[in-house]
Structure 1
């Protein structure tokens, strides 16, 4: 069949845009690596860097062999819950799911494993990372992606049989990516328990600050940069046929999505800055960085379907969600070194609810019906769109929490029972770098400074005995 010159050019532009967006999302792996490295103590820097590399390389294989097929498979095995089973690139002839689309979706998949790694940092055996990373990227995450992003998924807003006549709107993955990673991290951190020395004998939290604020800030800005591929890049076709403006494509929506992303993150960072100042009595760059990321996580669901002013509300609330969950975590003696459960889980869930409240009908039709005139869809409750969309968003939150809990919870528990999840107390006190990776990431005084005082006293007593 002969393809017109205009169609060929449009396909080329769409492909280049999608690949460029994939590269931006992949840059977020570097952002995760820097953020994690700076947020842990120096004696564990080598370990956390290696786990970030492992998330990418293991995720590549598992997502190629299994994950992409589970997420976007179509064929004899396809159903609303699970797609085609194995070797997706070979089994799916549909040109929509070509190599560039695979690469973009792969970049999302490995981000999920990176989120979970942060929750169990500084006390986990390296072999456990290999197991959970493969399982999470190859099976657990792709099933959720199929539910929401595949045209045959039961939660999909593009399905022929829309849930509540709406489907759940999770445009770039507040739920599919962040809530999945956050809940998986919760179970890992909960089953492992707090790091040695995190809480004293009276249950009071002992500060365990990361060793390098510079790396945290660098990682935050890299993640911000990558988010412009994460959110605006989720318009995988920027040139589409619009009935009212055939040459418009998705350009307007892409620009608006970038703006809402920026405003939500910036608002959350600013609110966290002053909120933590009131609570702890000083300005804290690390708290601001996490607040900023919490805003990005929350807006990721509705970035394409809300007004810029609504994004400011999203960021404002997400900051307090994060602050509140961090306070609750300390009271419950829950130890997540990167605050990944609170940040990605809590703010991700809020982002889904926010979309059900503030989505604008015009933008929903623009994002999911190519601006088709005469189309009516449920939209945000506060925008006059009724309860249908909000109901679908709540169902997505509950479904993700349930699915990840019944898959990742038993996996971490099995690893725990097999004694291959957590390192020994002695290894933890010495640091994973020296006990598992042959030496510290830093030389000289940095390694000595990374050792807490009680570890020095402990080793002196061991020598005397």
Structure 2
């Protein structure tokens, strides 16, 4: 009787931990919404807020109908879940479903930032459903399903053992979540092209700063708070893992803080002033990078992770402008670039002791760990393969989708609509009604006049 009661208490504590983590991860949607709203121009605020809501609600149904079953419904295949529909997925651990759902809808939120301020609303509906229901779940199955071919489970990989005797360590999803969302956003932004006026006739960069720094900072702190569910929550259970959970929260904090500080001084050198918005993006870049190895690296290594993540983000932003790539929220550079670095970082700095704590032992054999820590090349090789296959998979699934939407004229709004602003041209008015009471009639009249001129 006592043993049964103890078991029930353990299950209750673990269940509460997982549900609480799921709620924290879901709250990151609010962080994304605030960050996106503050990072765009005021005339597009309503549109970007609505797109964030749509990413969540459409993603919920898509993940319920198809996503969870493809990722975790019946893990008996190394490449994809053998069940393809919600009603076929068998018994479900509801807490685990909710946690994984919160991850899935985060992917679509990442992509929406790359194509902000110039995308038709219908395109959000299409890509959110496809990305959340089909593209992301396949990658999640590869890495996180117990029989996925990239999983670290020994005896996994279709029964032939893990890849390179190691499998890929992507504890909370630098690759599975952030790289997937970043690559999807990259293709969307490339196919759409830059915003009107972003670059002048000579290729020079025209500043288009976000309109509300307060919302950006608020969104950043909400994301920081949510990351304590994203990374430590990926232990799934807390009983017996308290030390690992706490250490993971600390590595997450140190990596993000270091990246924010390096970005602060790096941008001060490059642009000549202190920039709060850049620091916020640098901070998030550090969180993205540490997400892969947060549970398996030492504290000092997380500082290294954040330091390099900031440099990666700064360099990619410079290259993006050089090649006239326009991403209003730097989402592809931040989530894609820093996500890829995070996966590589794990292959370099994963510590044997922590790998064993998080993933268990390999019997009498030594489990591969980071190259720099003396663990051989197997883990790093698996990490590189993870990056390559994610980039390839997302490219062949999302690239054609965005191209098809473009050819069907369903992707980008017209030039006149973009100049007028999506709020007034597509959503019936501005987000800040009181501020625009006097201006709206004039702007709306200008928009109507442009439409009449274009029709004539």
Instruction: Say whether the fold is shared (TM-score over 0.5).
Output: yes
CA-based RMSD: 2.4
Q: State the match for 2:311 in structure 1.
A: 320
Shift of 1:443: 2.2
Shift of 1:442: 1.0
Q: State the match for 1:368 in structure 2.
A: 359
**SS state of the match for residue 253, structure 1?**
helix
Q: Verify the 8 A CA contact 1:112 1:180 in the aligned structure 2.
A: yes
Shift of 1:448: 7.9
Q: Does 1:422 align with 2:417?
A: no
Q: State the match for 1:80 in structure 2.
A: 78
Q: State the match for 2:158 in structure 1.
A: none
Query: Which of 402, 407, 413 is matched with 2:397 structurally?
Result: 407
Residue 215 and residue 71 in structure 1: after superposition, are their counterparts in 2 closer, same or farther (change >3 A)? same
Residue 263 and residue 431 in structure 1: after superposition, are their counterparts in 2 closer, same or farther (change >3 A)? same
Q: Does 1:346 align with 2:341?
A: no
Q: Verify the 8 A CA contact 1:42 1:447 in the aligned structure 2.
A: no
Shift of 1:398: 0.1
**SS state of the match for residue 381, structure 1?**
coil
Q: State the match for 1:202 in structure 2.
A: 202
CA distance in 1, matches of 2:225, 2:11: 25
Q: State the match for 2:56 in structure 1.
A: 56
Q: State the match for 1:242 in structure 2.
A: none
Query: Which of 374, 381, 390 is matched with 2:371 structurally?
Result: 381
Structure 1: any 5+ residue segments left out of the alignment? Answer: 240-248
Q: If the length of structure 2 is used for normalisation, what is the TM-score?
A: 0.94
Q: State the match for 2:235 in structure 1.
A: 235
List aligned pairs for 1:30-429, cutoff 5 A. Answer: 30-74=30-74, 78-88=76-86, 91-93=89-91, 97-160=92-155, 161-239=161-239, 249-369=240-360, 374=364, 376-429=366-419
Shift of 1:456: 8.1
**SS state of the match for residue 372, structure 2?**
helix
CA distance in 2, matches of 1:327, 1:458: 38
CA distance in 1, matches of 2:204, 2:276: 24
CA distance in 2, matches of 1:448, 1:373: 73
Shift of 1:102: 0.2
Q: State the match for 1:15 in structure 2.
A: 15
Residue 30 and residue 374 in structure 1: after superposition, are their counterparts in 2 closer, same or farther (change >3 A)? same
TM superposition outliers: structure 1 runs of 4+ over 6 Å: 447-450, 455-460
Shift of 1:4: 2.1
CA distance in 2, matches of 1:130, 1:176: 22
Q: Verify the 8 A CA contact 1:43 1:447 in the aligned structure 2.
A: no
Deviations 1:184-220 (A, max 9, x none): 0000000000000000000101000010000000000
CA distance in 2, matches of 1:330, 1:91: 45
**SS state of the match for residue 377, structure 1?**
coil
Shift of 1:375: 5.2
Q: Verify the 8 A CA contact 1:41 1:211 in the aligned structure 2.
A: yes
Q: Verify the 8 A CA contact 1:151 1:159 in the aligned structure 2.
A: no
Q: Verify the 8 A CA contact 1:357 1:383 in the aligned structure 2.
A: yes
The total of aligned residue pairs comes to 447
Residue 300 and residue 89 in structure 1: after superposition, are their counterparts in 2 closer, same or farther (change >3 A)? farther
CA distance in 1, matches of 2:84, 2:3: 31
Structure 2: any 5+ residue segments left out of the alignment? Answer: 156-160
Deviations 1:156-185 (A, max 9, x none): 012411101100000000000000000000
**SS state of the match for residue 18, structure 1?**
helix
CA distance in 2, matches of 1:196, 1:4: 65
CA distance in 1, matches of 2:65, 2:154: 25
Q: Verify the 8 A CA contact 2:154 2:362 in the aligned structure 1.
A: no
Shift of 1:8: 1.6
Shift of 1:262: 0.1
Residue 448 and residue 128 in structure 1: after superposition, are their counterparts in 2 closer, same or farther (change >3 A)? farther
CA distance in 2, matches of 1:9, 1:375: 35
Deviations 1:230-251 (A, max 9, x none): 0000000122xxxxxxxxx101
CA distance in 2, matches of 1:3, 1:125: 58
